[in-house]
Amino acid sequence: MTKPASLFLFCCSCFLPAARLAVGQSVPVRSGSPLYTGFQLPTIAGTLHYSLSAAERVTFGYDNTVGTVSAATFSGNVGLITPSKTKPTDLSASIGYLATTGGGQPSAFFTDFMISQSYNTRSWKLRLSDSLRYLPETPSSGLSGIAGVGDLGTSVPGIPTQGVLIPFATRIENSVNGDVTRVITGKTTASITGGYSLERFPGYSGGIQTDIYSGRGTVTHRIDGRSSVAGSYHYSRFGYVGVNGTFQAQGVSVQYKKQLNRRFSVDLGGGPQIISKSTLTGRPASISYTADVQATYIGSIASALTMSASYKRSSNGGSGLTFGAINDTVSGNISRRITRSLNVSALGTYSHSTGLQLITQSQINAESVVGSVQANRAITEKLSIYASYTAQHQSIQGTNYKGTPLNGLQQVLGIGITYSPSPFHLGR
């Protein structure tokens, strides 16, 4: 019996007793069973949380074929918010290594790191942040973006955007941003944000390397304790390494946030956008729109239930395949504690990318669907085992693109163990 198969059978034997408890409602849960909490990024000042995982990850359908690639994975997550109210530091990181065997694919290091420093006074709020991603493939699920490493269900801030899937293409994404917020009245604030981001593909000849300069100005007004409205103007300039020419996108948007009750909230935003004439190809200016829509439900502490659904439409650099694209992403996720020891998380994403600035008039259209599910069973209060499954399917039309994106079905199975102690509360 192969190593992945034996691990799968072992894991199933551990999960089956908990599954029986979940189905048979008349069977009480033992009060002494360990409580699964899992890793989550902290939201309260003065909190540190971390986890360590080891797993076996098997990929089926590698390189658009029926090939199989396996990898032993070692990873860790950490989240920190320092206790200072005036100068808080916020840090999150997911770091790991894929020790790959078979398929001719090299082993790979990966990281998703973010740090921000804020300075707060009564009237001003200043924030400087830097985020870095170094990944062997397009991010698709979990905090790290890597399927099968055990971090599905970790709450990731923001509304997700799924890029075109390119398996086994090393990428570097770095973004630096600065925010200045001025408190005008007790209910009204104004903010200005500026940033620079880049995307590089070291060792991958097919990747188009992107530089993006962006800015945003926003005025926010709190209507009452549960709702607020905001208006903003945004601008982005897209350029490419070794290519003469750029294009710009700018527009205005309105955002409305509402906490409908103690558990359910909605965030609705969108507006018109102008994409400029391109000096890359001479393509004329066009009018489009942006959208940021999200609904979130948080259940009781006992169930640890969280659900969210979102839709996002935006322009981007083209995912390394083409000179700019419009991306539509619909996603939903759910995480729930079934018993004290068993937790299940699931994520589904549909993405459609339409190329903008092309080398020829042939337009690129890519549709991708990603579905992930993960079950975690606690062994002790700090140790848990998990099994995860991810399916990625993508179809792409058009021939004038760079690189070798996924075109077909790829599946990832992960089985592993996680050590995650309770969050540490830091003193002042």
Dmax of the chain from CA atoms?
A: 69
Which token pair is 178? Answer: 């600065």
Q: Which token pair is 270?
A: 């969108």
Residue 46 has what pLDDT? 92
Q: What percent of the chain is helix, strand and coil (3-state, nearest 5)?
A: 5, 60, 35
55 Cβ neighbours under 8 A, 6+ residues apart: 72, 73, 75, 148, 149, 150, 386, 414, 415, 416, 417
pLDDT at position 23 is 37
- What is the predicted pLDDT for the residue at 267? 95
CB half-sphere exposure, 103, CA atoms < 13 A: 22
Residue 90 to residue 394: CA distance in whole angstroms: 35
Contact 140, 410 (CB under 8 A): no
Distance CA 240, CA 280 (A): 10
Are 57 and 98 within 8 A, CB to CB? Answer: yes
Which pTM value belongs to this model? 0.84
111 near 93, Cβ under 8 Å? yes
Q: How far apart are CA 287 and CA 163, in angstroms?
A: 22
Question: How far is 262 from 260, CA to CA, in rounded Å?
Answer: 7
Report the distance separating Cα 395 and Cα 99, nearest Å. Answer: 29
How much is the pLDDT for 399? 60
pLDDT digits (tens, 9 = 90+) for 94-151: 999 999 886 667 888 999 999 999 999 999 999 999 999 999 888 888 888 899 998 8
The domains found in the chain, sorted by start residue, are: 3-21+35-425 (2.40.160)
What is the pLDDT tens value at each position of the chain, 428 positions in all?
444 444 434 344 444 344 333 334 333 444 568 888 888 889 899 999 999 999 999 988 866 665 788 899 999 999 999 999 999 999 999 999 999 886 667 888 999 999 999 999 999 999 999 999 999 888 888 888 899 998 888 776 666 677 788 877 888 999 999 999 999 999 999 999 999 999 998 877 667 899 999 999 999 999 998 999 999 999 999 998 888 888 899 999 999 999 999 999 999 999 999 988 777 666 778 888 999 999 999 988 888 889 999 999 998 888 888 888 899 999 999 999 999 899 999 999 999 998 876 544 557 788 999 999 999 999 999 999 999 999 999 998 876 666 678 888 999 999 999 999 999 998 75
3-class state of residue 2 by DSSP: coil
Q: Which secondary-structure segment (H or E) carries 202?
A: none
Rounded Cα distance between 93 and 414, Å, is 21
Computed on alpha carbons and rounded to an integer, the radius of gyration of the chain in Å comes to 22
